[in-house]
């Protein structure tokens, strides 16, 4: 009985000490057993009990003389009156109070994220272990970082002689794919490429670097040897021009495949000017070429080092070329 009295007193004390204490006290009182209410009602000297009765406007003597059911009814009546007076009041033990749901969702969400992260890490470790056991060769290739771009190739230069990757062994080279009738992209790319190489050669390291430039025409049907040579002389006479026998030449197609170069013929539709017309006014070679716009930097053993996008400036081109060549030379020394 003593423990029950202390328990009831503790509940009412906490309720009275809180803001909105009258409503909170009523909530607690309604949750008490009938025996607890009667037990506490027999402690008229308790200060907290007197305060509770005063807040709830329940007469102490009348409340003590009431039967068990009447006492509960009185509490319910006071509770409903408080709800009507201030509907925003809530039981502080309820999850409906402001902020409770947010905290609950946050905790559950955080736990879910943590579990998901741990599952992902375990799956990743399992996959890596499985890969290392079943395919060690692929890991070795990835670690080495060798890109599957380029390879042995051979076409024909502007003198009509065979020319290919074997002729470039022992020197770094840049290789660009385009066509002589290209209105703007190819000329702009070649201009930047030539100026970028001039910056490389003017640098302190430049005099030690042997770099050549190769232009591959993807349109040999129109780009004759003479036309390619005249076109390249506009930019730099040292550029090496090569191409195939015709647009569907097997060697040309195979080389483009090795360098991941896309190229397709696009027919002109009806046009009002003389583009594509011969001397008699008839349409001839009425098309353009859509192709990949990339320059590749290859090392002195015909291995891919880097690709140079058309968005790079002359300064950026020079920097990428120099840094990749020097890094490759350092790696050679380490492998000795």
Q: Is 180 annotated as a binding residue?
A: no
The two beta strands, 287-291 and 240-243, are unpaired
Q: By the 8 A CB rule, do 156 and 245 touch? A: yes
Tell me the β-bridge partners of 265. Answer: 289
Q: Report the pLDDT value the prediction gives residue 286, as an integer from 0 to 100.
A: 76
The two beta strands, 172-178 and 211-217, are parallel
CA dihedral 135, 139, 141, 145 (to 10 degrees): 160
Tell me the pLDDT band of 21, cut-offs 50, 70 and 90.
very low
241, with CB counted inside 10 A (0-12, 13-18, 19+), is buried
**What percentage of the chain exceeds 90 in pLDDT?**
41
Q: Report the pLDDT value the prediction gives residue 96, as an integer from 0 to 100.
A: 44
CATH number of 154-268+280-335: 3.40.30.10
Q: Is 291 annotated as a binding residue?
A: yes
Distance CA 1, CA 19 (A): 30
Distance CA 177, CA 68 (A): 98
Residue 85 clears pLDDT 90, i.e. is over it: no
Question: Domains of the chain: which residue ranges?
Answer: 2-85, 100-124, 154-268+280-335
Residue 131 clears pLDDT 80, i.e. is over it: no
Whole-prediction pTM: 0.55
Tell me the pLDDT band of 25, cut-offs 50, 70 and 90.
low
**What percentage of the chain exceeds 70 in pLDDT?**
56
* Residue-wise DSSP of 139-187: HHHHHHT--------EEEETTS-EEEGGGGTTSEEEEEEE-TT-SSHHH
Q: Is 127 annotated as a binding residue?
A: no
Q: Report the pLDDT value the prediction gives residue 177, as an integer from 0 to 100.
A: 97
Residue 152 CB coordination number (10 Å)? 11
Averaged pLDDT of the chain? 75
Range from 30-34, 87-91, 194-198, 281-285 that averages highest in pLDDT: 194-198
Residue 181 CB coordination number (10 Å)? 18
pLDDT in tens, 175-232: 999 999 998 899 999 999 999 999 999 999 888 899 999 999 999 999 999 999 999 9
Per DSSP, the three-state class of 296 is strand
Residue 26 CB coordination number (10 Å)? 27
Tell me the β-bridge partners of 304. Answer: 298
Distance CA 172, CA 164 (A): 13
The two beta strands, 154-157 and 240-243, are antiparallel
Tell me the β-bridge partners of 216. Answer: 177, 242
**Who wins on pLDDT, 177 or 27?**
177
170, with CB counted inside 10 A (0-12, 13-18, 19+), is exposed
Residue 308 clears pLDDT 70, i.e. is over it: yes
Q: Report the pLDDT value the prediction gives residue 89, as an integer from 0 to 100.
A: 44
């Amino acid at each position: 009985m003593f423990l029950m009295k202390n328990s009831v007193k503790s509940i009412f004390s906490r309720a009275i000490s809180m803001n909105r204490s009258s409503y909170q006290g009523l909530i607690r009182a309604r949750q008490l057993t009938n025996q607890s209410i009667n037990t506490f009602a027999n402690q008229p000297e308790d200060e907290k009990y007197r305060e509770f009765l005063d807040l709830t406007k329940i007469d102490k003597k009348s409340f003590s003389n009431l039967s068990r059911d009447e006492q509960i009814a009185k509490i319910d009546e006071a509770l409903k009156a408080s709800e009507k007076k201030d509907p925003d009041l809530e039981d502080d033990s309820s999850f409906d109070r402001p902020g409770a749901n947010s905290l609950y969702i946050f905790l559950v969400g955080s736990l879910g994220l943590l579990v998901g992260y741990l599952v992902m890490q375990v799956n990743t470790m399992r996959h890596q272990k499985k890969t290392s056991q079943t395919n060690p060769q692929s890991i070795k290739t990835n670690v080495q970082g060798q890109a599957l771009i380029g390879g042995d190739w051979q076409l024909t230069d502007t003198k009509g002689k065979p020319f290919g990757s074997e002729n470039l062994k022992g020197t770094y080279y840049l290789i660009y794919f385009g066509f002589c009738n290209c209105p703007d992209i190819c000329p702009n790319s070649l201009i930047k490429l030539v100026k970028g190489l001039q910056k490389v050669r003017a640098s302190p390291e430049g005099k030690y670097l042997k770099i050549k430039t190769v232009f591959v025409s993807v349109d040999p049907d129109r780009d004759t040897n003479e036309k390619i040579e005249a076109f390249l002389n506009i930019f730099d006479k040292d550029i090496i021009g090569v191409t195939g026998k015709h647009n569907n030449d097997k060697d040309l197609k195979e080389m483009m495949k090795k360098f991941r170069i896309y190229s397709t013929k696009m027919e002109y539709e009806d046009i009002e000017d003389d583009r594509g017309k011969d001397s008699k006014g008839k349409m001839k070679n009425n098309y353009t070429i859509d192709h990949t716009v990339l320059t590749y930097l290859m090392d002195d053993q015909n291995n891919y080092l880097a690709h140079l996008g058309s968005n790079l400036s002359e300064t950026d081109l020079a920097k990428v070329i120099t840094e990749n060549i020097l890094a490759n030379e350092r790696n050679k020394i380490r492998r000795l």
